Amino acid sequence: MIVQILTGLLLGLHYTPQIKEAYTTIMHILREVYFGWSFRSLHSSGASFLFFLLALHLGRALIYGSYFSIPRVWFSGAGLFLFLMPTAFLGYVLPWGQMSFWGATVITNLFSGVPCLVPWVCGGFLVSNPSLSRFFVFHFLLPFLIVGFFSLHLFYLHALSSSQPLGSNTNNKIAFFPFIFSKDLFGFTLLGLLGFLEIFFDFISLSHPENAFEVTVLVTPLHIVPEWYFLEFYAILKAVPNKIAGFMILFSSLFWGAVFGELKTLSRLVLSYSLSFSGIFLVGFCALWIGGQLPQEKFISSGRFLFLAPAPHCILNPLRLFPSQLYGLTPGVGLGVRPQGTAFP
């Protein structure tokens, strides 16, 4: 996150948020500014690496049950995720390439269900100069708000310490140095190597090739797709035939993480069934693949089935936990977690 802010500040010194100059300033940064190409590649690739690490971090929290043992950390992380999504989208629009313009047009048109919201957001009835200026301002300011949420996230984390498979109220903890430090150092080294290969050799095509061309409002791309970390949300828009309903489902899907920290029965359910973790990630990866495909009937139907199939499981399975609540079982017992003041027989 610090690297994103520093590279963003350097790029912002040379960027002009005008529709006739935005693409030109990007080319100026790439060709004329000393090491501008490296800063731009580090900034754009860093966003992908950031969301990749965020997915791994979220998977660890789901497996370890952080939402159950340290809910404040979970909710602060959910708020952090809510601010990361619009920040990344606004940054995707700023290069003013073909995919940037048409992606912004698709998303802003979703607001048309609310009267007067599109002119209020875009400064007009379409994406234009006022829109790009506002996107640049919010993309510049939101990261500092994200740093505040990140500090709050760390504060709640260090107040109780990190979670583990046995819960948080256990005595078998290990020291941060040298055990966790050495593991994190190895992970950062591996990530730095991948980032070096991506920045200098571009061995993974993370951006759409259409975005390398300047905006042409008279030519619509064959397939308008966002960045890869937005594909699962784009799959929701494809699966829902109504625009307003799709936007409402898309917006509500951003708050799915709050369900785990709020509903204790669902939390115990997911803690009890490790298969639920595999199902969550399987649905996520399938949604990424479906979101990147052409809007054909087979992919649209697959997306609808993919998002509706887990519904009966989530509704009916919490009923199994009612007897345990009636008998007053302590949350975590049966999962290898020892309540405070007790011992295993």
- Residue 214 φ then ψ, to 5°: -70, 155
What gap in Å lies between CA 79 and CA 77, rounded to an integer?
Answer: 5
Closest CA to 205 of 1, 44, 331, 20: 44
Q: Which of 38, 133, 162, 324 is catalytic?
A: 162
Q: Which residue type occupies 122?
A: C
Whether 57 sits among the annotated catalytic residues: the reply is no
Residue 183 appears among annotated catalytic residues: yes
Catalytic residue among 20, 57, 173, 183: 183
Q: Please name the residues in contact with 204: beta carbons below 8 A apart, sequence gap of 6 or more.
A: 198
Burial class (CB in 10 A: 0-12, 13-18, 19+), 290: buried
> Do residues 72 and 187 touch, judged by C-beta distance below 8 A?
no
Identify the DSSP state of 19: T
Among residues 20, 32, 57, 158, the one annotated as catalytic is: 158
Residue type, 200: F
The yes-or-no answer on residue 158 being catalytic is yes
Options 32, 151, 184, 243, the catalytic residue = 184
Whether 243 is catalytic = no
Q: Which two tokens stand for residue 80?
A: 């952090």
Known catalytic residue at 163: no
Active site residues: 158, 162, 183-184, 227
